[in-house]
Amino acid sequence: MADSVQIERMKKLLRDEVASFCRQDDGSWRKSISDTIGEIRERKWNAVFFGGTLRSLLLSRLNNNEPGRPRDIDM
Q: What is the pTM of this model?
A: 0.75
| 3-state class (DSSP) for residue 75 | coil
* Contact (CB, 8 A) for 68 and 58: yes
Q: DSSP string spanning 33-55? A: HHHHHHHHHHTT------THHHH
Q: Pick 30 or 11 by higher pLDDT.
A: 11
Compute how many other C-beta atoms are within 10 angstroms of the C-beta atom of residue 17. Answer: 21
Cα separation, 13 vs 11, in Å, equals 5
pLDDT single digits (tens) 34-52? 888 889 999 999 999 989 9
- Residues 10-36, mean pLDDT to the nearest whole number: 82
